[in-house]
Every structure is written in structure tokens, then in C-alpha cells.
Structure 1
Amino acid sequence: MKNDFVIHTLENGLRVVIEVMPGVRSAACGFLARTGSRDEDPQMAGVSHFLEHMCFKGTHHRTCEQINIAFDEMGSLYNAFTSKERTFYYGWVRDADLERQTELLADMMRSALPQPEFDVEKKVILEEIAMSNDQISHLAYDFLHENVFAGHPAAWPVLGFADTIEKLTRDQMDAYLAERYAPDNLVLVVAGRVRPEQVIRLASRLTADWLPAGRSRSRIPPVLNAGQAVKKVERFHQQEIALVFAAPGAGHPMDETAEATASILGGGNSRIFWNIVQAGLSPRAGAWRVAYEDCGLTILSGLCDPANCEKLAEALRKEARELIAQGPEPHEVQRVKNKRRTSLAVEAEAPYYRLVQIMDDVDTYGQPRSVEQRLAEVDAVTGQSVVDYLEAFPITDPGFLVSVGPREWPAS
């Protein structure tokens, strides 16, 4: 697979990152806003996600209805998401419509934040928070961060809290928009059948009046707490428990090995799947890694009957102990590497998915990686690298125990 990147920075600070994919007939583009929930002030928790919604609700040139119809008129496959560290808006169209798609997304980056739409969308966000709290896995995930990262901006949920959303004003959001969606904190990413010089000229024209904020992103690394946290919620009938350990952050040299280790332990057809889920102890259990800019977490978790909390926790710890003591089997390493290779290769053939890969690389490494580079990093994973990784980032110490459900376990 041939990769052809063009990277250009406009005078206003907007970075434009392009990958030419001549073998396709479509193109995808997206605006990365390098801001997320961990960049918010405590009293404005949830503003990043709320703003993501509002960017679809009206600009100085389009109404909410016109924005949504414009996407469909192009046949665009589009979406947006907000995380703790970034917000991304993107669309995938036939190559002939790339200019229209880019112009629409650029217009959305200058949302007018109409007050009537703001008032309505606030209710939508509050409902979204309530719905999330009704799902035990979501509640446990947020509770986990709230305690593992207590006292740090990474602790609060992407959705924010009901009280911070209720108190948030349109003017507060407008000030956040002006600062965090300034061109020097945005990246325009484009992938597909495109001509880079045309994309750069288009970006320059669309953003000619955008003024930089001159603000550099500054984040304080969180400190992972140890101990346990229990949240008794009687309305649930099952218990969610999680064991949390330190892991490398995004872009770490052991990145692919960390992903492989989690997959061997708790991914599809993993040890946890066969020895815990298929054994009937838990209907849903696994292990995964959460990677942030400056830290990471390995999470072993599962759902169970409240009476089986002790059994599930011990079963998860047993699988972790055995992986460290025995190391991975060669067939396990090969299986997860093949799944990863296929995933990367398939995604790289579609501009929509390749766009997200490039965006992630740009935000993590400062520049995109070729498909060959990514595959080479997967190839470098070995049984010994998994052993070395588990020595550097052990998952057999007590870690942090999180328990959410109708049983107050473990007792304080």
C-alpha cells in the first residue's frame, strides 16, 4: 500500500493533513478540535460534548435543518464524537462532493449557537445523561474515572453532570468555542481521491477570516489512585466490578504490545472469554486498555450476580496471574496479531476509516503514520514483548477495585 501524505500549515495556524488514495472514488474529510472533557473548567463540565451537538444546530449561514439536509443531499456518511481529549467532525462522500463536504464542516466550526436551539439541546443532553446513568456499564465506567483520577479533570464524564449542564449558558459556550475552535487548535484531515493543492486552496479560502487564539494546549498528567470505590445502586439486578491497573499512554513504544496483551487476556476468544464467560460466571467480561495522552489504564471487568462478586474478582485475578506466570501461547500472539493486521488493512482501504486513523496519529504523534508503519509495529509484537510489557506494567498488584450494583461489596 502506497501512502502519499501532504502536510501544510496555513497562516492562521490551521494544519491541513492529506493522504492521497488514488485507487478509490471517494474522499473523507474532518475537522479535529484538540479539546475534550479533560480540558474543561470544573463548572463547565460537559461543554465540549454539548458544543459538538450545537455545531449541528445552526451557523450564520445555515439553520439546523439546512445543515442536516445538506449532508443528505451529498449522500454523506457523517458523524461526530467527543472524548476526554478531542472532538472530531467528519464526512465521507464521492470525490466530486469533497469541496461541498469540506465547506459544510468548516461552516459548522463557526456555529452561531442559536439560543432557542441551545435551550432545546440542553434538555437533550440532560436526557442523555439520565439514559447513561441507567446503564450499569456506563455508570461504572464514569464512577471508575471519578475515583481513579479523583481531583483531576480526567475524572469527570464526557457528558458532564446534570448540574453543570443546567447552569451552562450560551455565552460561556461561545467563549469556549472562540478559544478552543480557533484555527491554531484545529486540524483539517482529508483522505481519498483528492488533489492536495486544491484542498489547501479550499481550506485557505474557507478559513481566511478565522483568527488564531495563540493558546497552547497545556495538560497536567493525572496521578492514578489506589484503593477501592463502591457505589450501591439498588435499581440494578447485577453487579459490575472492575480491576484497574496503570498502563502506557497513547503513542508509547509498547502501544501495540499493550493492545495485544489486553486482547489475549480479555478480547474475543480470549482467556477471560473461555474461562469466565463461557464457564457461566459472567454474561459479559473482558479486558481492555484505555490510552490517554499522558497515561493509560488496563481494565479487567465483568458483570455478575451480586452473590458472585468474590468469585468473579478472583477469577479475573487468576487469569492475570496465569498470563504473567506462564506467558502467552504462540498461537494466542499470532491470533491477536492477525486480527489487528486485518483490521488495520481493511480500514486503510476506505477513506472514512483511514481518516480516523490519520486523525488519531496526528493528535497522538503530531504526524500521520503510513499503513506499512502501523503493520510493522504489529509485526514486532512477540511473546517475549508481552512478557516484558507485563513486567513493566503489572496487573497482579491490588490495583484499584471498582464495584457498582445492588450489593455493597466489598464492605468498607
Structure 2
Amino acid sequence: MVMFEINTLPNGVRIICEKMPHVRSAAVGIFIDVGSRDEAPTENGSAHFIEHMLFKRTSAHSAAELAFAMDAIGGQINAYTTRENTCFYARVLDTHLNTAVDLLTEMFFDCAFDESETGSERGVILEEIGMYEDTPDDACYERLMSGCFKGALGRPVLGKPSTLEKMSGESLKGFKESRYTAGRIIISLCGNYEDSHLERIKERFSGMEKTRRVKRKSTLYGTTVSVRRKKTEQNQFCLAFPSNEVSSDDRFAMNLLTTILGGGVSSRLFQNIREKYGLCYSIFAFQSCFSDAGILSVATAVNKETEMRTLGLIGDELKRFLDGGVDEDELSRAREQAKSALVMSLESTNSRMLKMGNSLLALGKCLTPDELLERYDTVTSTEILSLAQKRLDFKQLSFSALGKTKGAEDYIKALGL
């Protein structure tokens, strides 16, 4: 039986842990409920910049020494920044967990924010921005997000060259000190740990000043049509409809709907657009869910000669979904895909740790695997049809195209709208 333990320190820091004595590894993560959405326009890119800087020099160690220390214990250490949160995490053998906790907390609490390192790391991030700009599907999706969500949620996680060039070590340190507060922090620990390890974590974070969790300003979805001309071999397309927030009770049915529509090789879009007509190499549906909003998207890339036919077939497939719903075989396949992915991911202490931390951030609780499986088992085909008719509203459709494109009106016509 899975047993999660949640401790809340007097200052508001929350710690969620799950003991797994039958494994030889442990994973620990520091989750901060701060992402690019929490930045002012002039601060855009700060959270991601700080993610990079925490791997640089501290008062006790250089960046190289921190890297050598983790490699010396055979550990894995990493981080990521999203629109709504940031995470620093490590996975090690259970015998090295104290070292991993010490390194992570040293990075988190004692980053030097050295000005010369800030300058060099800015160059690294600018190259990262260039890399994503040279990835057409990412660039197409970012255009879609910036149109669907005006304001902070629609701005890029990495920031822009114009905002990054004005940031200094001092300004980044100030952003961290004002945002990375106790009420916004969750520690997730999973694997073969001892009570002494948990006490070590509590000791490290008990010194933070007491704060409350901060509620974000709400955001609203808006329709957008974006067409950007760029030299590419294929034209990239991304369609989107407004969808549920991350904590919605609809999320289980919505996951199955997305899987049936475009979540695998047996999905309708893959079987029709790729397998039957051979019009693309990749086509898929996916969700982007946030604390108070979300979108359901369909993405593909095709050559200029077949793009209109492809978009027409996508439109037809979406309308067929609305008219006829799904059959029991489709639902069964999608349900087993979701359940298998869930269960297999739980065989890794790192995956379990990440799932626990993200769940506590998004939901304020953590459902057990059995509870999650039960939620999927209760979804019906009637529920999916009702949800499709609610979500696949063509009046709310947004569209982004990137490549050697035509005009926006041509694409809208091709979709049959």
C-alpha cells in the first residue's frame, strides 16, 4: 500500500515523502511555485535564468566543484522551469542521499549570483533561445501561446534577448529573494531514506521566514490566428481549443479523449492522416494545462503541396469526433495506455518524486496509484462525447502556422470553418 507523508513546517514549507525500503536509490526535489507567469514584463526570463545560475558558484564551491561533487557519488542532478513552477532535483544511491541534500540546499540557499558568471550564462541562454527558434514546432507553439494568453502566461519561459540583457546578478538575486518564499516551496522525497534524512531536510528549510502561499492573477483564453513566414522544409501547424485547468475533475476523461484523438499510433489522426493518406510523418494531440486555464492542441508538419488537404482532413476528423463520439474499443485502448504509462512510470523513484511534488503543487494533495487507476476506469464513452462537444468548439479555435505559408484566411477555409 502506498503511503504518502506530508509535513508542513511552521514557516509554510511543505514536505511530501514516500518511503520505499526495497530499492537502493532515493530522489529529492525542491519545487517552487514560481515560473515565467509570475514575472513582470521587464522580468521575463528571470525564473529560467535563476535555474541556470543556481548551478554556478556558491560561497563554498565553484560551478565545476559542484558538478564534480555530484559526479563523484554517481548522482544525477537537474532542473527545469515551466510557466508556473521551477524544480531542482537529484537522484542518488541511498548511501549518498545526505550529500545530495547538502548540494541541493547549498545551491538553493547560497548561490553567489556572481556578475561575471551572470554575463557568461546569459550567453548560454541566448544560444538556448536560438536553438528553440531553429526548432519549428517549438516556435509555432510559442506563437500560439502568446496569442491565446495575453500577458504573463503567454510570454516565453526563456525570456527575450531584450529582457535578458538588462538582468544582472543583483536583480536575479532580488527576484529569487522576493518570490522563492517558504509558502511557495515543496520538498519531495522518495526512495530508501531514513528518518535522519527527513530531519536534515527540515533543518535546512526551517530557517526560512514564514510566508503564505500567493494566489496568482487569473487569466483568460482568447482566440488567435498566427501565420509566420520562415524558411523551413515543411510548414508547421498547431491548432488549439480552450481546455480544462490542471486540477479539473474532467482531466481523466480529457486525457483519454486526447489519446483517442492523437495520442498514439492507433489514434484517429495518426491512422487517418499518416497511415491512410501518407500526408505527414508525425501528427499528435496534446494538452497544456495550467492552474486556471488550458488548451487542447493538434500539431503536425507537412509540405506546402499537401497542406490544404491535410488541414481539411484534420477538420473532418474533429467534426467526426463531435458527431459520433468514441466506441468501446477505442476507449479501452486509450484507458490501458493511460494506466500502463502511469504504473510503469512509478517504477522509478525519480518519476514518483516528481509526480508527488507536482501533484501537491497543482492539487494540494497526492492521489495514490490505485485512486488514479480508478478514476480512469470510471470514464465512459458518453462522458468523452459530452466533453468533446464542450471543448471542440470551432468558434473558439486558435491556429498557428509557421513556414513558407499562405494567408491565414486560406488555412481557415481549408479547415472547413
Taking structure 2 as the reference length, what is the TM-score of the superposition? 0.94
Could you say which residue in structure 2 is the equivalent of 1:261? 257
Give the alignment partner of residue 275 of structure 1, picking from 264, 272, 276. 272
What percent of counterpart residues are identical? 26
Please list the CA deviations of residues 328-356 of structure 1 after superposition, one character each: whole Å capped at 9, or x if unmatched: 12121111111111111112222111011
Determine the C-alpha separation between the residues in 2 that align with 1:101 and 1:223: 40
C-alpha deviation, 1:396, in angstroms = 4.0
Determine the C-alpha separation between the residues in 2 that align with 1:161 and 1:87: 18
* Residue pair 1:241, 1:303 contacting (<8 A) in 2 also: yes
Determine the C-alpha separation between the residues in 2 that align with 1:123 and 1:381: 48
* Residue pair 2:322, 2:385 contacting (<8 A) in 1 also: yes
For 1:13-92, what aligned pairs fall within 5 Å after superposition?
13-92=12-91
C-alpha deviation, 1:250, in angstroms = 0.3
Equivalences, count: 407
* Residue pair 1:320, 1:396 contacting (<8 A) in 2 also: no
Structure 1 residues not aligned, in runs of 5+: none
Q: Does 1:102 align with 2:101?
A: yes
2:326 is paired with a residue whose SS is: coil
C-alpha deviation, 1:46, in angstroms = 0.7
C-alpha deviation, 1:47, in angstroms = 0.8
Could you say which residue in structure 1 is the equivalent of 2:298? 300
Determine the C-alpha separation between the residues in 2 that align with 1:378 and 1:265: 17
* Residue pair 2:27, 2:349 contacting (<8 A) in 1 also: yes
Give the alignment partner of residue 375 of structure 1, picking from 364, 373, 376. 373
Determine the C-alpha separation between the residues in 1 that align with 2:205 and 2:238: 46
Determine the C-alpha separation between the residues in 2 that align with 1:231 and 1:220: 30
Determine the C-alpha separation between the residues in 2 that align with 1:58 and 1:215: 30
Determine the C-alpha separation between the residues in 1 that align with 2:183 and 2:395: 43
Determine the C-alpha separation between the residues in 2 that align with 1:46 and 1:312: 36
Give the alignment partner of residue 312 of structure 2, picking from 311, 314, 339. 314
Please list the CA deviations of residues 57-97 of structure 1 after superposition, one character each: whole Å capped at 9, or x if unmatched: 12222210111112111211222111000111111111121
Compared CA separation, residues 293 and 91, structure 1 to 2 (3 A): same
C-alpha deviation, 1:394, in angstroms = 2.4
Please list the CA deviations of residues 4-29 of structure 1 after superposition, one character each: whole Å capped at 9, or x if unmatched: 12111223322111111232221110
Determine the C-alpha separation between the residues in 1 that align with 2:329 and 2:307: 31
1:167 is paired with a residue whose SS is: coil
Determine the C-alpha separation between the residues in 2 that align with 1:306 and 1:273: 19
2:156 is paired with a residue whose SS is: coil
Determine the C-alpha separation between the residues in 1 that align with 2:237 and 2:278: 16
Give the alignment's Cα RMSD to 1 decimal: 1.6
- The amino acid that maps onto 2:47 is S
Task: Tell me which stretches of 4 or more aligned residues in structure 1 moved more than 3 Å.
Answer: 395-398
1:367 is paired with a residue whose SS is: coil
2:309 is paired with a residue whose SS is: helix
Determine the C-alpha separation between the residues in 1 that align with 2:280 and 2:407: 17
Could you say which residue in structure 2 is the equivalent of 1:118? 118
For 1:95-174, what aligned pairs fall within 5 Å after superposition?
95-110=94-109, 111-150=111-150, 152-174=151-173
C-alpha deviation, 1:287, in angstroms = 1.0
* Residue pair 1:28, 1:190 contacting (<8 A) in 2 also: yes
Structure 2 residues not aligned, in runs of 5+: 411-417
C-alpha deviation, 1:228, in angstroms = 1.4
1:307 is paired with a residue whose SS is: coil
Could you say which residue in structure 2 is the equivalent of 1:388? 386
Q: Does 1:225 align with 2:208?
A: no
Determine the C-alpha separation between the residues in 1 that align with 2:368 and 2:169: 41
